[in-house]
Each structure stands twice: as C-alpha cells, then as structure tokens.
C-alpha cells in the first residue's frame, strides 16, 4: 500500500508539472523569447550569405548555356539555345535570350489529332517541354543540356597542392615525435 501511495504521489506531481509546462506555453506571445529577438540588418545579412558576387571576383569568368532539343525518330524538330560566354558581362540581348529559354513552354505535336489547350504555352510551367504523340512506334527524345564553366581550376589545383604539402609536413612532424 505504501508503494502504491508513493507511485500515486509521483503521478500527481508529474501531472501537475506537465500542466504547469502546458500553461506556461499557453501564456501568450509575450513570454516567448523568440519575440524579443531583433532582426538582423540587410547589410549584415549580405556579408553573411553564401554564394558569390561576380564583379568583385577579379579574374573569375563564368560561362553558362542552355540547349533544349526535341527529336522525333532521330530528326531534330524543335530547339532553343542560349550561351553566355561571361556572366559578369551579360548583355541585355543575352538576358532576353536566357529569359526566353527558361520562361517558355515548348509544345511539340507529332501525328494527327493532337489537341492542346491554348494556354499550355502561356508560361504556367516554365522551362518545360510538352510532347504530344498520336502515332505508334515513334522514338521521342527531349534533351536539355546545361553547360556551366568557371576558370578557377588553377586556383583549386593550387589549394590542393597546399593541402597536400601541409598534410605531408604534418605526417613528418608526427613521425619525428
């Protein structure tokens, strides 16, 4: 009986503590410490964010290209392409070409009686290719190729060489002790 009494008291204490914790959480937003946090300024966030700013990286050249093609039975029936040799010096014409490639829906119809709603190419799904085919035994291919290149390979090789040398020196020091 004593043991049952101790367990009952322990249960009541646990229930009371849980009720208090629940009530504390329901006190409202005033007691929530998150609401006391201050927002970080945009300038500070800009310094902390990842990524890169192309104009500030002297000597870094980034090229970018997208090629979209549709083949029916090995024959090219539709294509769209844009190549930007240096992203930091992108022209307005190149920006418009890029927008036209990534913000359009390419509709390809093969065979008779293909019907597509007029708004399918209105941009509801961007950078998409829709192929309608009403014929049997057709080989259909939709190929999207993204080409991206950065001229930083020499810097990475130099960093790797420095890491290899540092590791070798660390091994020598460890062997001497």
pLDDT in tens, the chain (177 residues): 444 444 444 444 444 444 544 444 445 556 767 677 787 787 776 666 554 455 555 667 788 888 899 999 999 999 988 888 888 788 899 888 888 887 888 889 999 999 888 777 665 557 788 899 999 999 999 998 888 887 776 666 666 666 776 776 666 656 655
Q: Closest Cα partner for 73 from 145, 146, 135, 144?
A: 135
For 116, residues 6+ apart whose C-beta sits below 8 A from its C-beta are: 107, 109, 130, 132
Length of the chain: 177
**Contact in structure between 54 and 88 (CB atoms under 8 Å):** yes
CA dist., res. 109 & res. 138, Å (int) = 12
Whose tokens are 């229930």? That residue is: 15
Residue 9 has a pLDDT of 47
């Amino acid at each position: 009986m004593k043991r049952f009494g101790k367990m009952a008291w322990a249960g009541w204490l646990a229930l009371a503590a849980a009720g208090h914790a629940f009530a504390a959480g329901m006190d409202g937003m005033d007691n929530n410490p998150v609401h006391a946090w201050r927002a970080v300024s945009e300038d500070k966030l800009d310094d902390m964010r990842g990524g890169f700013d192309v104009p500030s990286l002297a000597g870094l050249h980034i090229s970018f290209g997208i090629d979209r093609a549709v083949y029916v039975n090995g024959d090219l029936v539709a294509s769209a392409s844009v190549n930007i040799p240096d992203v930091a010096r992108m022209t307005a014409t190149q920006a418009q070409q890029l927008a036209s490639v990534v913000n359009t829906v390419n509709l390809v119809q093969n065979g008779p009686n293909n019907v597509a709603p007029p708004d399918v190419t209105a941009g509801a799904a961007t950078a998409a290719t829709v192929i309608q085919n009403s014929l049997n035994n057709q080989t259909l291919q939709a190929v999207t190729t993204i080409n991206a290149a950065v001229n930083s390979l020499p810097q990475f090789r130099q960093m790797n060489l420095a890491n290899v040398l540092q590791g070798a020196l660390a091994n020598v020091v460890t062997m001497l002790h």
